[in-house]
Amino acid sequence: MNLRKKFGLFRDLWSPKVVGEINDYQVKLAKIEGEFVWHQHDHTDEFFLVVEGSMRIEYENHHVSLDEGDIHIVPKGIRHRTVADEECWIVIIEPRDVVNTGDVDSDLTAENDVWI
Amino acid sequence: MNLRKKFGLFRDLWSPKVVGEINDYQVKLAKIEGEFVWHQHDHTDEFFLVVEGSMRIEYENHHVSLDEGDIHIVPKGIRHRTVADEECWIVIIEPRDVVNTGDVDSDLTAENDVWI
């Protein structure tokens, strides 16, 4: 399965699509642009890989810039938000039942377990 | 953390290097060339992403060809081997204590939990 080909199958932003499972973890693709909501995941770390474009992961006192081919793991329980000035394509890996906005209910809270 | 930069830090083949953890899962980088040993992982699926080059994952009755940007998840309990005609750089994600040769003891059995 080719990642870029899969990214070609959808256009909606902030709506993770599941492409596979590693045991009870899911491999999700997302297109992001703009600022996400501040949130945290109390029970899990969250893996990010940038496939196309650039993004930042903002923490309360610093941020991490990610370009194509960069990975970053957000530690569990740490408040953060993702930001992309232009459209950015990312892979997220986390346990199956993780909601994208974590502890926060938001307009950006996406339906979970949507496969593509 | 940039994947290609991390791959530049080691040259040995078939020796997975850990670059991060998602809870009790590890993100490992490996350089492979040639044929690995047939083996299986009885208790876990295994995620592969090709970062550079091409490889095959051979199963007993078919095989999957992977090029740069392709992902594949080997289901648990299924006998397989990885093959690369030329050097190929891959990301593997699987639980922390998984041995590279699974149920088989081989010259290719690598030390586990080696970080880079």
Quick one: tokens of A31?
């297109």
H or E segment to which residue B20 belongs: strand B17-22
Q: How large is the average pLDDT for residues A36-42?
A: 97
Strand, coil or helix: A3: helix
Give residues with Cβ within 8 angstroms of B21, minimum separation 6.
A45, A73, B27, B96
- What is the spatial distance between Cα B50 and Cα B84, in angstroms, rounded to a whole number? 11
**Chain B interface, best mutation among A4, A25, A44, A49, by max B CB count within 10 A:** A25
Interface touch B27/A71, C-beta < 8 Å? yes
Strands (E), A44-114: 46-52, 55-59, 63-66, 71-74, 80-95
Which among A2, A27, A44 has CB closest to B69? A2
Q: What is the pLDDT of residues B56-77, one digit of tens each?
A: 999 999 999 999 999 999 999 9
Tally of CB atoms within 10 A around B85: 12
Q: Would you state the pLDDT for residue A50?
A: 98
- What is the spatial distance between Cα A97 and Cα A99, in angstroms, rounded to a whole number? 6
Q: What is the pLDDT of residues A46-80, one digit of tens each?
A: 999 999 999 999 999 999 999 999 999 999 999 99
- What is the spatial distance between Cα A70 and Cα A77, in angstroms, rounded to a whole number? 22
Q: Which of residues 1-60 of B touch A (CB under 8 A)?
A: 1-4, 19-23, 25, 27, 44-47, 49, 51
Q: Would you state the pLDDT for residue A58?
A: 98
Q: Output the CATH code of domain B3-95.
A: 2.60.120.10
User: pTM of the full predicted structure?
Assistant: 0.96
Q: Would you state the pLDDT for residue A24?
A: 97
* Percent of chain B surpassing pLDDT 90: 100
Q: What is the pLDDT of residues A76-87, one digit of tens each?
A: 999 999 999 999
> Which residue stretches of chain B have pLDDT < 70?
none
Give residues with Cβ within 8 angstroms of B116, minimum separation 6.
B6, B9, B10, B17, B18, B19, B29
Domain boundary assignment for chain B: 3-95
Which among A1, A3, A44 has CB closest to B23? A44
Determine the length of chain B. Answer: 116
Interface touch A67/B25, C-beta < 8 Å? no
Quick one: tokens of B15?
């020796």
